[in-house]
Each structure stands twice: as C-alpha cells, then as structure tokens.
Structure 1
Amino acid sequence: MKRPIYVFLLVLFLLACTASAQNVQGSKCGDALRHYSTAYEYMKQGNYEKARELLTKAIEDSTTYVDAYIALRKVYINLGDINKAIEICMSGLSCVLEKIEENVKDVEEELIEANRKLTLALADLYAKIGEPEKADEFFEEIIKDDPKDANSWDLYAYYHYKQGRIDEAIEYYDKAYQLDPENKGIAFRLGDAYFAAGRYKDAVGLFTKVKETFPEDIDIMKKTAESYYNLHEYKKAIEEYKAIVELAPKHVSSRIQIGNAYRELKQYEKAKEYYHEALEIESNNLSVYYQLINLELGRKNLNSVKKYLDEAFKIYANDPILFALYGEYYYRLGIEKMSNKEWNPSIERYEKAIEIWQATIKKAYDPEWKEYARKGIERAEKMIEEVKKVRW
C-alpha cells in the first residue's frame, strides 16, 4: 500500500535536519531567544512578515527551539499559508526526533515535551484544514512503529480530547493506561476524560488512585470533589473541598462548592456560612451572590433576597444575571401579594417582573439567560391573567 506523502516528507525533513544539525547548537542560544522575543512583539503588532523573518533566524540558531516553530506556525496561519505551517511543524518535529535518537539512552524531558507539542500542533493543522483523517493517519504511523509505547497512545488520546472526541480519547487513554498502569499522569487524564463523558464513578476511582501518590495536589483533589458532587455524594464532596481549604485557605471556589453541597443536603445555614466566608475573601465575587440569592429564593426569604440583590447591584449595576434574578424577586412578590388577595399590588409586581425581564433580554449575551427571561415573562403574564380571573 502506498504510504501517505506526508510520511515521506517527514523522512526528507529528518535527513535535511540531520545534515544541518551537525553545525548548529541544539540548545536555545542567546541569539535564538533574542530573535524569538523580538518576533513575538512583531506578532502582537500584526507584523507577520517581520516576525516570520526573525523566527526563521531563531530556528536556524536552535533547531529544537519548539516555541519558535509553534510561533512560526501561527505566523503562517495568519498569513493564510496552512501548507507552509504544516511544513514548519514537520521540519521541527523531524529535528526533535533526530535529537531524541541521538540521546536515546538519556533523553531530556524538554525534548519529549517538544515532540509532544509539535505532534499536536501538526495534527491540529490537519484538523483545521478539514482533514482530521490525516491527523489520525499521522498518529497511527507513530503508533505502528511501537504499539506498546504508552506515551504515543497518551498523545493520541490527548489529541482526540482536545478535538472534543471524548469517547475515542477514553479508548486511547485506556490503552495507554493498560500499558503503563503506574503512570499517574495517564491515570489522571483518563479520569478527566471519564469526567468529561459524565462517567463520574469511573473518574473518581482513577482520581483516588492518583491521590495516593499526590495527596496534596489541589487539581486532583478538586476533580475528585467535583466527581463526588456530580454523583450526589455530597458529604464526600464536602470532605474533599474542606481538605482543599485546609491547604489553600483562600480557595474561594471550594468554599462556594462546600456551600452548594450543604444546600443540596438542606443544611441552609451551613451553606450560608461558607458563602459568607467566600465573600470575606472576595467581597466582589458575583458567583457567591448568585448562590445566596438562589438559596434565599428557594427558602422564600424575599427580604434577604432583596438585601443580597442590593449589595450585588452596587458592585455590578448592569449584570444581566442579576437582572434575571431581580425579575424573579418581583415575580415571587407577586405570588406573595396574590396569596394575600392583594390583587392590584400583585399585578403591579408581575408587571415589574416583566419589565425587568425585558431589560434582561436586551442586556444578556448568554442565550440561556435570554430564554430564562422569556419564560419568566410568560409565567408573569399567565399569573396576571389568573389574578384578573379570581379577583372578580
């Protein structure tokens, strides 16, 4: 069977790189760093031609300078030359592989990471031009060389994960994990893929295993806590989040999640305690106010709802989510007045809710909150009709 043309290109680049690398220092020298830094400034200014010139010089000075290859790839993308971007990635990958082969018994971690970055960059380019099958073929060629190399399967899985192809990512991470079950990085990434697929029980099993080696890694602890939360095992989630807070006392998001878990357990005062602790650390954290407002709406404590709304509006006067919740506040006031047979005040509150929700639709960017406001208007209009029927 005829092998894909880009495989031949890779071989050609490898030969070219081998010849040139004999006279070029592989490590990042001062000139290469200087060229790269200046090129980066030109890129920010949109001067891609000048950036291209300097990045080419940086690569000539240091043939394994992966950041220069990645930046030059971006330059060619912005110049509209995807094929040249692919060529640059293949050239860089070839030079890195050549260096790895030279030092096969003592490969530097930096070279392994460079190989990873360039492989992903190349695969991403194939995806950009609508040819993800070429990226798959590219990885398959790598894996074919050594199907028992866990790192290759790990890289292939990561590519699929970044492309949003979660089921395939799980399949390939699992292959990597079976080949190297003691590799905690692979175990964590497989767990993360399970998490993305909503397979929280599988995820928490792997996160727990990784925690045995890294018991104080906050990212792992957070993922474990989130998995328990999504499994509705709120007490276990609270334990994990509290452990994070012990390690990082100012970790606001964990305090919010502890509050949310207590709220699910209907321990509302405990929930408020942790929300207020979060506000003591970040007094302008709007997420905390959302939680407090929703908590008090659920408890029908409308005076407290108004208090938190007023505080939040002082910080973010035009926040569309606050407007949506403000509309909900007036809607609930309408229900309260209606239950007391205060018909006209009830209609006034419903009309105020409609007015606020109409403003929400204009302010909101998120379609979810626009839809929330539209449905709120429908609810309020129905209640107005209901009031008009019963008051006579």
Structure 2
Amino acid sequence: MKTRILTAVLALFTVVSFAQKKEIKRAGKAVEKGEYQEAKDYLNQAEAQLANADEDEKAEFYLYKGYALIGNGENVPAADLMAASEAMQKAKELGHAEAQQGATAVSNALVNSAIADQNAEKYGQAAEKLNSAYRMNTQDTLYLYYAASNAVNGQDYDSALKYYEELQDLGFTGEEVIYTAVNKETGEEERMASKEQRDLFVKAGTYINPQEKKSESRKGEIAKNIALIYIEKGEKDKAIAAMETAKKENPNDAGLMQAEADMYYKMGDMKKYRETIEKVVEQNPNDAILYYNLGVSSAELGEHERAIEYYKRAIELDPEMSNARINIAFVILSKEQPLVEEMNKLGMSKADQKKYDELAKERQEIYKEALPHLQKVIAKDPTNIEAARTIMNIHYQLNQNEEAEAMKAKIAEMEASTAAPTNGQ
C-alpha cells in the first residue's frame, strides 16, 4: 500500500513538473510576441509548483515574469515595476544568461517612471524606484544619488540619510566626463551620450567644436545634506561630526567648506558661519556671492560697517547684483531705529528740544546716505517695486514732496502693469 502511494505521488510529480515546464516555455513565447497578459496567465499557472522546479526553470520563470510585468514599459503600475525588479534580481541570482539584459530593461522602466513621479512631485515613489534601479545595477551610482535627492524632497530623511551615507562609503563623487559639440544648424552646444556618438556626428559634418568637460564633484553637497538632515532631526552634534569627517578626507575642498558654512547658517551660528565663509573666500577671492553672504552674516551679527564693506566688494565683482545694493540701503536705514527710540524719550525742555533737532538732522543724513544705493537699483531694475516704495518714503521724510509724488505715480504704473486682467479683457 505504501509503495503504491509513493509511486502514485512520484508519477503525479512528474506530470506536474512537465506541465509546469511547458507553461514557463509558453510564457516565454508570449513575451517574445508582446502578449504580456497571456504570459502572466501562464506564469500564474506555473507558480503554484515553482518550488519543485530546478534552478534553470526558476531562472526562466523569473526572467519572463520580469518582462511580462513591465510589458512595453509604458504606464506600468508602481507595484508591477517593483515586482519586476525583484523578479529580475532573482533571475540574476539564479544565473540566467539573459538576466542582465532584462535587468537593464526593468531599470530603464523604473527610471522613466521615477522621472514622471518626480515631475508630479511624488518624491517618495521616485526615490523608491531609483533605489531599486540602482540595486539592479550597482554601477549606476547616480541612481542612488538621485534617490537620496528625491527622499529629501519628500522629507523622508531616514531614507535619504541611508542613501547618502552609502554613497560616502562607496567614495562616490558624481564626477563624469561630459562630451559636447556644437550643432552647425542651430549653433547651440549639445551634450552627447558618449564620446563615440559625438565623434561620429563631428565626422559626419553636422557638428563642430567637440569638447570634453568634467562635471563638479558632489562630495561637498552630500556631506552638507547629511549634516543638514542631522540638523533637521535635531542632532547637531552628529551634523558637526559628519562634516568634520568629510573635511578630514578633503581638507582643501572648497565645496565642503561652503557646505560647512551652510550648516552653521542653518544652525543659526552666524559667527562660525562667517569664519567658515572667510576661508572659502580665500580660495575664491573673485566670487561675488561669497562676499554677499558675508555681508548677510555680518549684518545679522550687528556688524553694520563690515556688512556694507562686504556688499560693496560683491558689487565691485558683480555690478548687476541689485540685492547687495538693497541690503546696503537697509543696513544704513537700520541705524534709524535707535535714533527714533532716543527721540521718543526726550521731553519738552530746551536741552531736549536741542537734542531732538540734532537727532532729527542725523536721521535725515541716514536717509540721504541710503537713497543713492536704492536709486542705482531702480536705474538697473526699473520694475523693483520694493526699492521704489522705499525711495518714495525717503523723499517724504526729507520733505521732497515733488520727488515723492513722482515715485508714487511710478509705483502705481508698476502695480497696474502687474495686475491680473479683469473679465472681458
């Protein structure tokens, strides 16, 4: 009796195994024809007995499952993409010869879908898909970098931190050689997919002026983001420690110095921020933005004269920097407040009246000092309504009513030009 039962089971197993193998083959043919739903049906039938299949059959099953799930790559549900990723990974682990090609197809589908998610501000989904794309081919470390960026945008700081720290462990810099050439028809420089493609187009005569450029390192940005994430999590000591570790490896990296300065700014430590920015300036003495930032930190520290000097240096390097001119004016005008407070405390005695007049005159000198900086802003940017309003108020304070009314009219024109059109217009 026992022997018969065992024989019957073995016979049944043989039949099921044979049927299972046939369903997997049918699924493969359906995939080749692009009949993906049919392939899924065959695979569903085979999956029930998959545990009894040999490794080659399992490898084929997972390969075809991956292809069937991504189909033609268009409008694939997120769940199917992730399942396809897992299936192709299993096919690779089982040693299927075509698994790498299949993994590339799934990876491309994941990346394309992640781009769509990113554009739709679905940052969490984008991060998950890009991370999966990276796991399918760990040579594509840029996918992990962009996964981290999307995780930050989605405020998933734990995932972002994990990805960034993994990138640091890998020694990722993000540096790459960019191949470009100028399109003869449009006259615009275009980026090429590879050196071979660029050289081919240049040889064909449709492109000229081939160039090779090296992109900037992302190490500083990654270190900064790790530190900022720790700050966001309320772990300032870890933020500083993370930055110190990064600096030991790259002591002269200007990008890291800038990242450290950003970290202190985020912490509200203006003194350390300025100290760090000054080190960055030593390496980049012609960077107008650095001087502008030094002006901001000095102003916040109450060091008004130093702030004005930094802003003036920024303007020397970049005469178009209107914000620096505006900030100079505001730093100058900030001197008014203590004068007003002192004037309000004075009484009606002759001595107090004399002091009041002196302070009023000093106040007018402040207005006169600030005015030219704002006028230069308007000269370069006639639509700057905030500068225009401040100029108008200064004219009124200086009893220059004609100039004030003229600026008032100009402001009205600005507001009218930016107002939304009414119905019927």
Band of TM-score, shorter chain = 0.5 to 0.7
> What does the per-residue CA deviation read over 1:92-112, in whole Å, with 9 as the maximum and x for residues that have no partner?
455674444999xx9845x34
1:202-213 alignment, distance < 5 Å: 202-213=306-317
Q: 1:275 to 1:108 in 2, by over 3 A?
A: farther
1:11-22 alignment, distance < 5 Å: none
Which position in structure 1 is the counterpart of 2:112?
34
> What does the per-residue CA deviation read over 1:35-64, in whole Å, with 9 as the maximum and x for residues that have no partner?
3322225654x8x4x444323246568523
**Structure label with greater radius of gyration:** 2
Are 2:153 and 1:69 aligned?
no
Counterpart selection for 1:200 from 304, 324, 337: 304
Alpha-carbon distance, 1:180 to partner: 4.2
SS at match of 2:324: helix
Count, aligned residues: 249
CA distance in structure 1 between the aligned counterparts of 2:121 and 2:146, rounded to whole angstroms? 14
The two structures, once aligned, show a CA RMSD in angstroms of 3.7
1:39-188 alignment, distance < 5 Å: 39-40=117-118, 43-44=121-122, 48=124, 50-57=125-132, 59=134, 62-64=140-142, 66-75=145-154, 77-78=155-156, 82-93=157-168, 97-100=172-175, 108-109=214-215, 111-112=216-217, 114-188=218-292
CA distance in structure 1 between the aligned counterparts of 2:390 and 2:134, rounded to whole angstroms? 47
Amino acid at match of 2:262: Y
CA distance in structure 2 between the aligned counterparts of 1:217 and 1:35, rounded to whole angstroms? 40
CA contact (8 A) 2:173 2:219 kept: no
Which position in structure 2 is the counterpart of 1:343?
none
Alpha-carbon distance, 1:278 to partner: 1.2
Alpha-carbon distance, 1:168 to partner: 2.0
Amino acid at match of 1:85: A
Q: 1:53 to 1:147 in 2, by over 3 A?
A: closer
CA contact (8 A) 1:149 1:179 kept: no
Are 2:323 and 1:219 aligned?
yes
CA distance in structure 1 between the aligned counterparts of 2:289 and 2:171, rounded to whole angstroms? 23
Which position in structure 2 is the counterpart of 1:371?
none
Percent same amino acid at aligned positions?
19
Counterpart selection for 1:228 from 310, 314, 332: 332
Alpha-carbon distance, 1:138 to partner: 1.3
CA distance in structure 1 between the aligned counterparts of 2:371 and 2:110, rounded to whole angstroms? 50
Q: 1:197 to 1:265 in 2, by over 3 A?
A: farther
CA distance in structure 2 between the aligned counterparts of 1:253 and 1:196, rounded to whole angstroms? 21
SS at match of 2:289: helix
Amino acid at match of 1:35: S
**Worse overlay, 116-125 or 173-182:** 173-182
CA distance in structure 1 between the aligned counterparts of 2:263 and 2:280, rounded to whole angstroms? 13
CA contact (8 A) 1:32 1:59 kept: no
CA distance in structure 2 between the aligned counterparts of 1:249 and 1:74, rounded to whole angstroms? 35
Alpha-carbon distance, 1:219 to partner: 2.6
Alpha-carbon distance, 1:34 to partner: 2.6
Which position in structure 1 is the counterpart of 2:57?
none
> What does the per-residue CA deviation read over 1:238-290, in whole Å, with 9 as the maximum and x for residues that have no partner?
2122222122211111101212333443434433432332122114999xxxx
Q: 1:261 to 1:120 in 2, by over 3 A?
A: farther
For normalisation by structure 1, the TM-score amounts to 0.53
CA contact (8 A) 1:255 1:278 kept: yes
CA distance in structure 1 between the aligned counterparts of 2:283 and 2:127, rounded to whole angstroms? 41
Alpha-carbon distance, 1:229 to partner: 2.9
CA contact (8 A) 1:224 1:240 kept: yes
For normalisation by structure 2, the TM-score amounts to 0.50
Amino acid at match of 1:176: V
The structure richer in helix per residue is 1
